[in-house]
Amino acid sequence: METFELKLRDEFIKLGQALKAAGAAENGVEAKYMIQDGKVSVNGETELRRGRKLFDRDEVICGDRLIKITK
C-alpha cells in the first residue's frame, strides 16, 4: 500500500480536497464519485460525505493509497 502524508495548512481539510491533494483523485468530480461509491474509508469506516472534515492523525484509505493527515 502506498502511503502519502498530507500536512495541514489550517485546522482541517475536507475529504474531497484531501483526495485531490494526495493524487488519489484527479479532480473534484472524480473524488465525489469515489466517495459516493463507497471506495473511501476514514479511520477504518466507509465515508460517504465529501465534505467530511479531516484533522491531525486521521487516516484515509482509497484503493491502494493510505493518506495520513498530519499537522
Give domain limits for the chain: 2-70
Model's pTM, two decimal places?
Answer: 0.93
Structurally, at CATH architecture level, domain 2-70 sits in Roll (3.10)
What whole-number distance in Å separates Cα of residue 47 and Cα of residue 41?
Answer: 5
Q: With a cut of 50, which residues of the chain have pLDDT below it?
A: none
15 contacts 47 by C-beta, under 8 angstroms: yes
pLDDT for the residue 1: 87
> Given this model, what pLDDT does residue 2 score?
92
Longest dimension (CA), the chain: 29
Distance CA 68, CA 36 (A): 21
